[in-house]
Structure 1
Amino acid sequence: MLGSFLIFFREAFEASMICSIMFAYLRQINRRDRFRDVLIGVFAAIILSIGVGIAIFLTIHDYAGTALQTKIESFTYLIAALILTYMTFWMKKQSRFLKRDIEQKMSAAFQHGMMWSISLVAFITVGREGIETVVFMIAIAFQTKPILLISGATLGLFAGLSLSYLIYVAGRRINMRHFFTTMGTLLMLFGAGLLSNAVEDWQQLGWIPLGVHPLWNTSSWINENSTFGDILHSFFGYAANPSALQVAIYLVYLAVMVYAYLRKGSSKSKLTVTPS
């Protein structure tokens, strides 16, 4: 639940902020008639994301309970962890330039008379967030109960859109540096869990015969199949009976990435988007 909440909160906030910036710019130059171009791009991106998600889910479902599903599952964990790590660092670096870059693309569209490019900007930026969400949610779906997955996603979507609304309509200001630092650090915990799960699958497949012996067994205290254990497993990568390699990968990834993330220079600017 925590994993799906955090993913939907972050992606919904980023996507809605991009749309808010585009709408605010169109209001500023008195071109509200082009709102429809933004909406076309947004809805096209949403349809694409849903379509990709359904296609991947059905493909994986066809191989449920087979070794191929375990292989697909393991690489989904790996890809999700890589994308999450890259996008976390990228967004922290680019957050200070986000508003400027989008407005420059919008301005270029008007200067060259290419109104379709407004839809393209919305489609690419929102679609990127949508595809990321699909990959992350599929990874989470392998390790959490459907009701918790849906509940977390719904609450995260509502929270992300609400925060964007406060910034756009109420003109609230938030420190983007603190926001992305906090979100990024939490997502690193999620990423460490994804890598740990990938290693577990590879060891089950016999691909990595090293460090397979379990270090402890806490299933009598917190079972992974319990609600609390499921939440810990889906977000923090909790394993009641982890192998030595799982624990090592988890701790090394977390230590290296969190250190690099907190050490890396970032923006101190605040972001506000007003409807003017």
Structure 2
Amino acid sequence: MLPTLVIGLREGLEAALIVGIIAAFLRKNGKSLTPMWIGVAVAVALSIAVGVVLRVIERALPQAAQEGMESVIGAVAVVFVTGMIVWMNTHSRGLKRELEAEASEAINDGHAYALAGMAFLAVLKEGFETSVFLLATFSASTSMTLAATGAVIGVLAAVLIGIGIYAGSVKLNLSTFFRWTGGFLILVAAGLVLTALRTAHEAGWLNAGQQAVLNLSAVVRPGTVQSSLLTGVLGIPADPRLIEVIGWLAYLVPVALFVYWPRARRAQGMQIARVQFGIAGALAVVALGLVAFFPRVGTPSLPAAHISSTAGVAGSGTAQLTRDALYVTLDGHSTRVALDPAKASATELNGIPAQRWKLPAQHGDTAAPTTLTLTQLVELNGGRLPVGVNPQTNPGPFDARWAAGGSLEVWSAHGVLLDAAQTARTVLTLSGGGLTGPRSISVEAPQYAAASWSLTSASAQKAADAVTAADAAHAERTLWAVQLPVALGLAALVTAAFGLRSRRRALTSQKNPVGPTASPAIPATPQRSNSYAAQ
């Protein structure tokens, strides 16, 4: 409730001041206030519509997309409130005087409708910023009702203060007011930075830097005053993560220093350029240090995975994935399966992005015999006589015809075999050897035909853990050694550009001094007249 109250009060007061000053000038000069009030009403309606539309769109999205939109809205809100804080910190002392001067100029030029347009744009700007900021605060708030109540109270208070200022019954030190409320809003905006980083993680956008660094559960207990202050007002959760703490400090410290650094100790002239160059250099050094010293991520390396038969026939072996082939060894018989990357399809296995191949079932590396003895037939049938074969009347040998079917599926990620399974059905058709007609049986014979097998659950879990760890390490390096250095590098370039501008301004000021620092003109000494000299 408190954050939304302060937001509504600050933004509402800015709009109320502008509207009040414009209204006073219009009335003083005998102009109608109707166009101005129409503009204000339209601006308020548009601002409310923006907030409602954004809220409806957010609620209509899937959960992950909602979290992503909350991150975007939070980031926009932080930009808005930061700009507001910085602008007010710079202009609050002369805000009323500047507005009066602009209004007076417009009236003198006969542009009364320009003042009405100024009121419309001012209210629209503040209303749009308030809608976005309140929407982001509502998303982070524990109670939507209290948050909305605080916003309404803040706006109503701003309107009443604006009326009081307009009527002359309220005297308000704008510089002090905006300075103190600015400090509170800096904390709220830092909390929004933290919340935006958390929702970005929940949306799947930010998966690095999620190491828990603090445990505030003893302080942030639901229902306590501390919980309402830290979580409800300042947006600090009970389990802040590393990236969240860094983001919170990275926003809070520089903005607070900018706003509250003593004016008497602030850099002037060429000192401003030196400070900006120093900051740019520090940012560049940190960026280069992250790139150079953050650990590199290698490709996961695992031993051959264990496989076992899945057709009720005792058997085990291994499966080893290389760059372009899968080597399967089952019951001492080896098979090489070529894996063409062009024939792989992108898929997901247990939440892990993977490549998938689906191929015909692979048989052993020994040519299947075309003739079988009765002993060989019993061996192929798992030590049992096939149904319909009698050793007295069907002594063999038999003519053998083989027909294989089934498929082999392989999943891999980062060169690691995630899973593999072969479902095969080999049909052996016998004839001759005393048989009155052909007999067909299903056999499991890895040395001659395709066998059904799969990776053991332990091997599949070990591979999944290795890939998950590799993905996490890659995400960490991408954040700390790529994305963050790029952001710091851009910030260094922007800061250095500001430093160059400050340096040019300082040099220009030194060449063309103005004010009390300018050297006064020395009047020429009058020459004595000849007559005076003669005397």
| TM-score of the aligned structures, taking structure 2 as reference length | 0.46
Give the AA of the match of 1:62: A
Deviation at 1:249, TM superposition (A): 1.6
Deviation at 1:225, TM superposition (A): 7.5
* Maintained 8 Å contact 1:212/1:245: yes
* In structure 2, distance between residues paired with 1:229 and 1:148: 15
Say which is worse superposed, 44-53 or 201-210, in terms of deviation: 201-210
Deviation at 1:174, TM superposition (A): 2.4
* In structure 2, distance between residues paired with 1:126 and 1:104: 19
Question: What SS class does the counterpart of residue 142 from structure 1 fall into?
Answer: helix
* Maintained 8 Å contact 2:65/2:203: no
Aligned with 1:115 (options 93, 112, 127)? 112
Q: Is 1:158 paired with 2:150?
A: no
* In structure 1, distance between residues paired with 2:262 and 2:20: 28
* In structure 2, distance between residues paired with 1:185 and 1:98: 19
Aligned with 1:89 (options 71, 86, 89)? 86
* In structure 2, distance between residues paired with 1:25 and 1:115: 9
* Maintained 8 Å contact 1:2/1:231: no
Identity %: 30
Give the AA of the match of 2:38: I
Deviation at 1:226, TM superposition (A): 7.0
Query: Structure 1 residue runs of 4+, over 4 Å off?
Result: 224-228
Say which is worse superposed, 227-236 or 189-198, in terms of deviation: 227-236
Change (3 A) 1:206 1:224: farther
* In structure 1, distance between residues paired with 2:69 and 2:38: 33
Question: What SS class does the counterpart of residue 214 from structure 1 fall into?
Answer: coil
Q: How does 1:34-113 map to 2 (within 5 A)?
A: 34-63=32-61, 65-113=62-110
Deviation at 1:40, TM superposition (A): 1.4
Of the two structures, which has the highest relative contact order with CA contacts closer than 8 Å and spacing of 6 or more? 1
Q: Is 1:191 paired with 2:216?
A: no
Change (3 A) 1:146 1:227: farther
Give the AA of the match of 1:89: V
Match of 2:10 in 1: 10
Give the AA of the match of 1:5: L
Q: Deviations over 1:160-210 (max 9, x none)?
A: 223323323244332222111111111100110011111112233443333
Q: How does 1:100-249 map to 2 (within 5 A)?
A: 100-144=97-141, 145-219=143-217, 221-223=219-221, 229-230=227-228, 232-249=230-247
* Maintained 8 Å contact 1:41/1:120: yes
Question: What SS class does the counterpart of residue 217 from structure 1 fall into?
Answer: coil
* In structure 2, distance between residues paired with 1:182 and 1:165: 22
Q: Deviations over 1:77-133 (max 9, x none)?
A: 111011110111112222234334433443444444443322211100111110011
Deviation at 1:248, TM superposition (A): 2.0
Match of 1:269 in 2: none
Task: Give the total of aligned pairs.
Answer: 263
Match of 1:20 in 2: 20
Deviation at 1:232, TM superposition (A): 3.2
Change (3 A) 1:217 1:61: same
What RMSD in Å do the two structures reach over aligned CA positions? Answer: 2.4
Q: Is 1:261 paired with 2:255?
A: no
The structure that is strand-richer by fraction is 2
* In structure 2, distance between residues paired with 1:20 and 1:233: 36
Q: Which runs of 5+ in 1 are unaligned?
A: 267-276
Q: Which runs of 5+ in 2 are unaligned?
A: 265-535
